[in-house]
Amino acid sequence: MPGATAIGVVFSEGVILASERRMSYGTFVMSKSARKLFKITEKIGLACAGLMSDMQVLVKEATYFANMFKYENNRDMTPHALSKLLSNLLFANRMFPLITQTLVGGFDGEKPGVYVLDPVGSVIQDEYAAVGTGAEISLGVLEASYKPNMSYEESKELVIKALKAAVERDSGSGNGFDVMAITKKGIKEEFIPA
């Protein structure tokens, strides 16, 4: 898996997705400004780690299906439904998999959720998750400090702390952090320099 770290955390009012910006293959840094966070709808975001081309394919498919669902049903697709759809897509390609680990975050009705997908389509819902080469380090920080119903500021601080820990130990991660907050009001994005 090419270097990257992405994190998803459920907080009291929504979901935070975050990732760092370094795109590397082995020891070679190809880009220091690669975005790995993607807005799919006003209530759903994706964070990915893996091959950039495969991320782009997955995001294109997710956006298409979410838009078609809204057009045909006159309502937004839920993150759970999008996760299951992406799971089917990934499983259908299991013999030639998309090399990406994915986090889907957003609102299922009134409840925020984070879903983790592996390259062959497994889906797991969790309160917090991390994927990529820095996931093990990030998960240690998240497990030690995460509490249900944290505020936005507490959650954002925890996510940045977890990403900083990953960047310190994972040479495939770095170069600042993109943070996406998904609430009932919509999506707010920001960049935080390292």
Q: Which residues belong to the active site?
A: 5
Of 117, 48, 113, 68, nearest in space to 89 by CA: 117
Contact in structure between 22 and 4 (CB atoms under 8 Å): yes
DSSP of 119-135: TT--EEEESEEEEETTH
Would you give the DSSP letter of residue 53?
H
Beta-bridge mates of residue 182 = 15, 187
Q: Which residue's structure tokens are 């998309």?
A: 98
DSSP of 121-189: --EEEESEEEEETTHHHHHHHHHHH--TT--HHHHHHHHHHHHHHHHHH-TT--S-EEEEEEETTEEEE
